[in-house]
Homo-oligomer: A and B are copies of this chain.
Amino acid sequence: MTGVTIGDVRFDDRGLVPAVVQDAENGDVLMVAWMNRDALERTLEEKRTVFWSRSRQELWRKGETSGHVQHVEEISADCDGDTLLVRVHQVGAACHTGERSCFHRRLGGLENEAGRPDRRSP
């Protein structure tokens, strides 16, 4: 694994980068949130995740009210530097619904297509 710095991260035209949060202990993908440069700097300094809330337009220190803090073990940037992978030790649940991961809703459609490989035209 090679190394990069915060200067290599490519924030988009809104100044944001998506951050995939993964459980460092079992590999589960817990959530995806957004960081601006300030949020990323604070995450590095505090070693716990800080995001940018697009709806509230403010920094959002994960777990500040719920106590469900994410202690950061490692951050990686992808090959073109416009997405981050944050490996964490999650206290409690990552999702506001109480589920441990935000990805607890399975999308139907895959199983229904079995045996109908040509159903592509309308």
| Residue in B3, B26, B78, B106 whose beta carbon sits within 8 Å of that of A108 in the complex | B3
Say whether A107 contacts B9, CB under 8 Å.
yes
For residue A57, which residues in chain B have a CB less than 8 angstroms away from its CB? none
For residue A29, which residues in chain B have a CB less than 8 angstroms away from its CB? 20, 22, 29, 85
Say whether A79 contacts B97, CB under 8 Å.
yes
* Band of interface residues on A: 35 or more
Say whether A75 contacts B44, CB under 8 Å.
no
Interface residues of A in 85-113 (CB under 8 A from B): 85, 95-97, 99, 102-110, 113
How far, in whole Å, are A109 and B72 apart by their CA atoms in the complex?
Answer: 11
Asked whether A102 and B75 contact (CB < 8 A) given A47-B110, A120-B45, the answer is no
For residue A3, which residues in chain B have a CB less than 8 angstroms away from its CB? 105-108
How far, in whole Å, are A32 and B104 apart by their CA atoms in the complex?
Answer: 19
Say whether B79 contacts A105, CB under 8 Å.
yes
| Residue in B77, B97, B107 whose beta carbon sits within 8 Å of that of A75 in the complex | B107
How far, in whole Å, are A31 and B80 apart by their CA atoms in the complex?
Answer: 11
Instruction: Tell me if A69 counts as interface (CB < 8 A to partner B).
Output: no
Interface residues of A in 43-78 (CB under 8 A from B): 44-47, 72, 74-78
